[in-house]
Chains A and B, each alone.
Chain A
Amino acid sequence: MPPTSRTPETEISLPDKIPITLTVNGREARLKLSPWVSLLDTLRDHLNLTGTKKGCDHGQCGACTVLVDGRRINSCLTLAVMKDGAKVTTVEGLAKDGVLHPVQQAFIDHDAFQCGYCTSGQICSAVGLIAEGKAQSADEIRELMSGNICRCGAYPNILAAIQQAMGGA
């Protein structure tokens, strides 16, 4: 992975940090950030929410999937300053009053992970998928979950978990 910050060829004055507000898991966070900080790094390094994972940092794995204003996106390819004012939900914000979200419970019921590195992204993605309401069949779920890679290959159990959460099995 290349280093995260370098000086451009010609000098430019270092931009001021930009004040932004995010509502993360229902709580308002006021931050001052450099424009180049990704939403992923903001969650992990500035808000200490390390449930969201960095796999590739290039949109190729889905480990960083979170919900922004209810839609699933890759937080590694988003600048936090672009999302000023948005509502962000991470895996830490899914359980309510100590009760796991049905998708989280289904992942446990179906043993839908091995190492667990992709899991928070898979779960957030599945929550987004169910909200979209476009997937019915197993093929459609697989296709619309293809943005989440599982290197352990837990796919059959992930599918079963999502079907359970959708009210199928």
Chain B
Amino acid sequence: MINFQYSRPGDIADAVRQIAADPRAKFIAGGTNILDLMKYDVERPAHLIDISRLPLTGVEETASGGMRIGALVPNSDLSYHPLIEARYPILASAIRAGASQQLRNMASTGGNLLQRTRCLYFYDVATPCNKRAPGSGCSAIDGINRQNAILGTSDACIATHPSDMCVALAVLEAKVHVAGPAGERVIAFEDFHRLPGKTPERDTNLAPNEIITAIELPARGFAKNYTYIKIRDRHSYAFALVSVAAALELEGKTIKEARLALGGVAHKPWRNKEVEATLNGQPATRESFRSAADALLRDAKGFGHNDFKVELARRAVVRALTQAAQGTPQSQSNKKIV
């Protein structure tokens, strides 16, 4: 690993001051992504600012009936929090589908949003990669792209965002609270992560001198009709090839509201609100689900090794909506298909 300076700011203002003062500094929270990338020479900060002891570990109810989650709450604690399990089980489930219990014990809520892609070439500093070295080219488009995206890609980059938790946060329409030198602001979840476009080096709309302080969940948790399905190369401890978070509000057998987000298929958790709206007022049947899945994947495009993801995603959407409608969410331990 490269040499770097290390500091531990005393409070949030101090952390913001330190990051703003040093363009080559980075925060470290759980460390599970940044240290991994530093060992591969992908990240080369000259200074690590250890925020892991800042008091951002609360999980509290908000005045508007939602919840506010501190940026340093470990993923494991969040997924087992009684109010999260009861009111936002889709979030608890998606978190448990990711990584391993050891990693979830370390990984922070804020760090999870900012974890970087698992594209093989992003990790391999001997190869061109526009995300790692802007302008060098994309090795994945004509390379080994089994893990890569099928929606929202650009000529510059076809990487996916690897998080499971974020797919659930997209469905729940969470808000990201951040602080920077100019004060605090709130970013809607759909505006947090970016599509690659011509600037794949920018994963998110967080400024380099800003810190995530909290995630806010709106009151609606879809605790009755939801599921999180994750399909991967092995049963556990592997990144998603395709994942789907589905949440429904039903009136009898009719869909009042449908929300769907896909993981493993794009540079950000993928939602298509127009397609979701076509489900409103429809009967909760396989036919409705299939036509939504077809519409959602209509513009999807594979790059060779990942062509299979298009059909896999289509079927996963149908299954997820079926599970959500039946109130039989996927178990994250036995993975039995229901």
Contacts and interface: CB of A to CB of B under 8 A. Distances in A.
Given A2-B39, A15-B6, A74-B103, A35 B48 contact: yes
Interface string B87-114: 0000000000001111101100000000
B102 A5 contact: no
A2 B101 contact: no
Nearest to B99: A147
Contacts of B236: 142-143, 146
A9 B133 CA distance: 15
Contact of B3 (A36, A65, A142, A148): A36
A73 B50 CA distance: 18
Contact of A81 (B6, B41, B105): B6
Nearest to A6: B2
Interface string A30-49: 00001110100000000000
B237 interface: yes
Interface residues of B, number: 35
B39 A58 contact: yes
Nearest to B336: A139
Given A36-B2, A128-B101, A143 B332 contact: yes
Contacts of B209: none
Interface string A109-140: 00000000000000001001100101001011
A146 B238 CA distance: 10
B105 A8 contact: no
A55 to B, nearest CB: 13
B3, B50, B103: most-surrounded residue (chain A CB, <10 A): B3
B2 A74 contact: no
A74 B32 contact: yes
Interface of B: 1-6, 28, 30-32, 35-36, 39-41, 44, 46, 48, 50, 52, 80, 99-103, 105-106, 235-237, 331-334
B46 A12 contact: yes
Interface string A141-169: 01111111100000000000000000000
A62 B3 CA distance: 25
B105 A82 contact: no
B5 A77 contact: no
Nearest to A41: B1
Q: Which 3 A-B pairs have the closest CB atoms?
A: A147-B100, A35-B6, A146-B236
Contacts of A65: 102
B103 A72 contact: no
Interface of A: 2, 4-10, 12, 14-15, 18, 34-36, 38, 57-59, 62, 65, 71-74, 77-79, 81-82, 125, 128-129, 132, 134, 137, 139-140, 142-149
B4 A15 contact: yes
A79 B2 contact: no
A146 B237 contact: yes
Nearest to B30: A77
Contacts of A137: 333-334
B102 A142 contact: no
A71 B75 CA distance: 13
Nearest to B103: A59
20 contacts: A10-B46, A15-B4, A15-B5, A15-B6, A35-B4, A58-B36, A59-B36, A59-B102, A62-B102, A72-B101, A73-B105, A77-B106, A78-B31, A82-B52, A132-B101, A139-B331, A139-B333, A142-B236, A146-B237, A148-B100
B3 A79 contact: no
A57 B331 CA distance: 30
A79 B52 CA distance: 12
A147 to B, nearest CB: 2
A4 B1 contact: yes
Contacts of A10: 46
